[in-house]
């Protein structure tokens, strides 16, 4: 099929590349000329493992090109995806300006030569399916009033569930594909588009091998859930709200564990093995971040408010997360008393590993607060330092070439992002370079015993031995394990 994807950010570029990899002919469009020029010469405007390789293979399969002009791509397309940003306004509601402009430009470029589906892949509040239909029609009527009546199109909501850092894997092997639509022709078109994904008929690429679970599934290997437009829109918000809630819950339990002397990692393992709960997203830490959770929970709250629903759980979820980011500051104060004039080293800046995305990253809030309190900051992140320098020039951070240089003469080290390479750091070398070997492990990445053996004064999040002498269970000597 012929496909246009509008917006070449994290979602649009990955979606376009995957669809071309599956054999569709794709054009990705963006108003940002710099991004398009980079993509044309094979440079990625974002950091996403496997994306460059996928685009190279996609060129040989269905073919993918990059353009700044919607008008060139839309007339030939069967399916047009909108994957533009929907950032939050100060009120919490989603800023729909990019969506609106994209929908109008699609309308203005349409003709009567065939039936097309316009797909909302951006995360948009309930009712945006209708809004897009209206805007496409308005764009069409303004540009081509005489043709408008003869142009046929359907609107679908196809929310995206990929996670930055594993976006290629998530797009090729989704747990489910959600399509909301109000007419059969639109559903049929979307089914045809996604058939290779649903049936998993493609040969998996070496850089994103098919997981065993998917290969072994019978029937539709990536189930497609078809719903109304409104249900699909609600599914996306509810999924993100629930995931944010799971993390927030773990953090709240962590704070209680710390007081009562329990170990949150043990508690979460103990509850996660209950199949009704599941082990994912139960890692306590210094709070979630990223471009989606905060914005989506706020947007859902706003929608609830518009309909007079008092969504207390959603409100609490945001509040708990805001508080959790301050836990690091409290722990630093407990260990160092005075933060003014102290040097704090941050390990990790990206909101999570394997991405350069800093949107709503906890590191930013922590850095701002520490700077306000008079601390000096050193930092190291394997990927996100350039983005941080560029996007946050006011943050006075001394960027370092590696974790060891970040630790040099620091009074405390804070693990902010659990990049896998940090797990194998030589803790002894880190501690020996510091003025004061304090380690605040904001992601419970390190073993408290090992950190203490390396000379650190260690504090994790919700760990029973934050105040202890390093023995996990000094009396019983029990180590938590799961027998398989
Ligand atoms: N990033 C994620 O992990 C993720 C996951 C699931 C869903 N989403 C949702 O997907 C949407 C896109 O997110 P993203 O992270 O890819 O955003 P992004 O900011 O990385 O990219 C959006 C792109 O759209 C372009 N754009 C804006 N208006 C345009 C227009 N009128 N025509 C052409 N291009 C235009 C921008 O220049 C930008 O390159 C959002 O609604 C987001 O909530 C994001």
Domain identity same for 277 and 356 = yes
Same domain, 201 and 252: no
Last residue of a domain, one of 153, 188, 208: 208
pTM above 0.85, yes or no: yes
In a shared domain, residues 132 and 188: yes
Verify whether ligand 1 is closer than 6 Å to residue 81 (CB atom).
Answer: no
Confidence (pLDDT) at 475: 42
Q: What is the pLDDT of residues 356-392, one digit of tens each?
A: 999 999 999 999 999 999 999 999 999 999 999 999 9
**Among candidate residues 161, 186, 208, the one where a domain is terminated:** 208
Q: Classify residue 363: in a domain, yes or no.
A: yes
The CA angle 202-206-212, to the nearest 5 degrees, is 70
Q: If DSSP codes are grouped into helix, strand and coil, which group holds residue 27? A: strand
Task: Give the per-residue pLDDT at 327.
Answer: 96
Shared domain check, 261 and 165 = no
Q: Does residue 365 have its Cβ closer than 6 Å to ligand 1?
A: no
Q: Do both 199 and 255 map to the same domain?
A: no
Asked if the model's pLDDT at residue 280 lies above 80, the reply is: yes
Cβ of 226 below 6 Å from ligand 1:
no
> Does residue 256 sit in the same domain as residue 164?
no
CA of 2 to the centre of ligand 1 (A): 21
The atom number, within ligand 1, closest to the CA of 159 reads 7
What pLDDT does residue 239 have?
Answer: 98
The minimum-distance atom of ligand 1 relative to the CA of 163 is 3
Residue at 203 is within a domain:
yes
CA angle 25, 31, 37 (to 5 degrees): 70
pLDDT in tens, 188-243: 999 999 999 999 999 999 999 999 989 888 888 999 999 999 999 999 999 999 99
Task: Examine the domain organization and report whether 366 and 424 are in the same domain.
Answer: yes
Q: Are 257 and 212 in contact (CB under 8 A)?
A: no
Interstrand relation of 153-157 and 177-181 (parallel, antiparallel or unpaired): antiparallel
Higher pLDDT, 149 or 461: 461
Residue 215 lies in a domain: no
Dihedrals phi, psi of 304, to nearest 5 degrees: -55, -45
Determine the average pLDDT of the residues in 326-337.
97
Ligand 1: centre distance to CA 127 (Å): 19
pLDDT digits (tens, 9 = 90+) for 77-116: 999 999 999 999 999 899 999 999 999 999 999 999 999 9
192 and 311 in a single domain? The answer is no
Quote the number of domains for the chain. 2
Name which residue sits closest to atom 6 of ligand 1, judged by CA: 160
Q: Residue 330's domain is classified under what CATH number?
A: 3.40.50.720
Residues in the chain: 484
216, part of any domain: no
122 lines ligand 1 (CB under 6 A): yes
How far apart CA 106 and CA 117 sit, in angstroms, is 11
Residue 477 belongs to some domain of the structure: no
- 281 and 196 co-located in one domain: no
Residue of the nearest CA to atom 37 in ligand 1?
Answer: 32
The label of the residue with tokens 């004061």 reads 436
Residue 479 pLDDT grade (very low, low, confident, very high; cuts 50, 70, 90): low
Please give the mean pLDDT across all residues of the chain: 95
Residue 480 has pLDDT above 70, yes or no: no
Mean pLDDT on 149-154:
95
Centre of ligand 1 from the C-alpha of residue 292, in Å: 11
Whole-number Å distance between alpha carbons of 212 and 207: 15
End-to-end CA distance of the chain: 46
Q: Is 15 in the pocket of ligand 1 (CB under 6 A)?
A: no
- Positions annotated as catalytic residues are 292
Residue 226 lies in a domain: no
SS3 call for 110 = coil
User: 128 is in which domain, residue-wise?
Assistant: 2-208
- Asked if the structure places residue 354 within a domain, the reply is yes
Residue 123 CA to ligand 1 center (angstroms) comes to 9
Based on the fold, state whether residues 14 and 68 are members of the same structural domain.
Answer: yes
Helix (H, G, I), strand (E, B) or coil at 425: coil
Q: Return the best residue to mutate from 11, 38, 120 for the ligand 1 pocket (most ligand atoms within 8 A of CB).
A: 11
Same domain, 193 and 271: no
Closest approach atom of ligand 1 to CA 35: 39
pLDDT confidence of residue 481: 62
In a domain, 390, yes or no: yes
pLDDT of 420: 96
Nearest partner of 439 among 350, 310, 335, judged by Cα:
335
Q: In the predicted model, what is the mean pLDDT of residues 278-307?
A: 96
Secondary-structure percent of the chain, ordered helix, strand, coil, rounded to 5:
45, 15, 40
Look at residues 430, 423, 417 and name the one whose alpha carbon lies nearest to residue 383: 417
Rounded distance from Cα 437 to ligand 1 centre (Å): 41
Question: For the residues 314-328, what does the mean pLDDT come to?
Answer: 96
pLDDT at residue 473, as a whole number: 45
Which atom of ligand 1 has the smallest separation from the CA of 296?
A: 43
Q: What is the structure's pLDDT at 482?
A: 62
Token pair in block for residue 251 = 């953090």
Q: Is the CB of 108 under 6 A from ligand 1?
A: no
Q: What spacing in Å lies between the alpha carbon of 163 and ligand 1's midpoint?
A: 14
Task: Tell me the mean pLDDT in the region 19-35.
Answer: 98
Is residue 477 over pLDDT 80?
no
Cβ–Cβ < 8 Å for 296, 290: no
pLDDT (tens digit, 9 = 90+) per residue, 257-272? 999 999 999 999 999 9
**pLDDT, tens digit, 9 for 90 and up, residues 155-168:** 999 999 999 999 99
Asked whether residue 197 falls in the same domain as residue 52, the answer is yes
Mutate to test the pocket of ligand 1, among 12, 48, 170, 177 (most ligand atoms within 8 A of CB): 12
Mean pLDDT across 409-435 = 98
Centre a 10 Å sphere on the Cβ of residue 352 and count the other Cβ atoms it contains. Answer: 19
Task: Calculate mean pLDDT across residues 284-313.
Answer: 96
Ligand 1 close to Cβ of residue 162 (< 6 A)? yes
């Amino acid at each position: 099929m012929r496909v246009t994807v509008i917006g070449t950010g994290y979602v649009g570029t990955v979606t376009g590349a995957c669809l071309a990899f599956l054999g569709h002919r794709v054009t990705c469009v963006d108003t940002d000329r710099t991004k398009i020029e980079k993509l044309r010469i094979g440079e990625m405007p974002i950091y996403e493992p496997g994306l460059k390789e996928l685009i190279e293979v996609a060129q040989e399969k269905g073919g993918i090109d990059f353009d700044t002009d919607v008008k060139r791509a839309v007339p030939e397309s069967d399916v047009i995806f909108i994957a533009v940003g929907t950032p939050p306004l100060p009120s919490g509601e989603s800023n729909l300006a990019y969506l609106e402009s994209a929908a109008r430009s699609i309308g203005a470029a349409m003709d009567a030569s065939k039936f097309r589906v316009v797909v909302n892949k951006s995360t948009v509040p309930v009712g945006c399916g209708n809004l897009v239909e209206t805007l496409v029609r308005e764009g069409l009527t303004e540009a081509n009033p005489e043709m408008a009546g003869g142009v046929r199109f359907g609107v679908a909501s196809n929310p995206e569930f990929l996670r930055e850092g594993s976006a290629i894997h998530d797009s090729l092997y989704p747990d489910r594909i959600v399509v909301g639509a109000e007419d059969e022709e639109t559903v049929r078109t979307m089914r045809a588009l996604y058939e290779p994904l649903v049936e998993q008929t493609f040969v998996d690429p070496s850089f994103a091998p098919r997981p065993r679970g998917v290969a072994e599934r019978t029937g539709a290997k990536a189930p497609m859930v078809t719903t109304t437009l409104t249900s699909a829109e609600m599914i996306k918000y509810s999924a993100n709200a629930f995931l944010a809630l799971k993390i927030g819950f773990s953090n709240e339990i962590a704070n209680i564990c710390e007081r009562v002397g329990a170990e949150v990692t043990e508690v979460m393992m103990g509850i996660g093995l209950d199949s009704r709960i599941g082990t994912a997203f139960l890692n306590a830490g210094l709070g979630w971040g990223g471009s989606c959770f905060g914005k989506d929970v706020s947007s859902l709250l706003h929608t609830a408010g518009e309909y007079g629903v008092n969504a207390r759980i959603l409100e609490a979820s945001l509040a708990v997360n805001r508080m959790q980011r301050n836990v690091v500051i409290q722990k630093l104060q407990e260990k160092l008393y005075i933060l003014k004039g102290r040097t704090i080293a941050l390990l990790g800046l990206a909101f999570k590993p394997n991405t350069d995305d800093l949107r709503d990253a906890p590191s930013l809030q922590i850095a701002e607060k520490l700077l306000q309190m008079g601390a000096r900051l050193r930092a190291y992140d394997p990927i996100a330092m350039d983005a941080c320098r560029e996007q946050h020039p006011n943050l006075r951070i001394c960027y370092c070439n590696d974790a060891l240089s970040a630790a040099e003469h620091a009074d405390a080290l804070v693990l902010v992002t659990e990049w896998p390479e940090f797990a194998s750091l030589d803790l002894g070398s880190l501690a020996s370079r510091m003025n004061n070997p304090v380690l605040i492990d904001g992601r419970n990445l390190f073993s408290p015993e090992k950190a203490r053996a390396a000379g650190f004064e260690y504090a994790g999040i919700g760990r029973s031995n934050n105040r202890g002498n390093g023995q996990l269970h000094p009396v019983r000597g029990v180590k938590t394990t799961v027998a398989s």
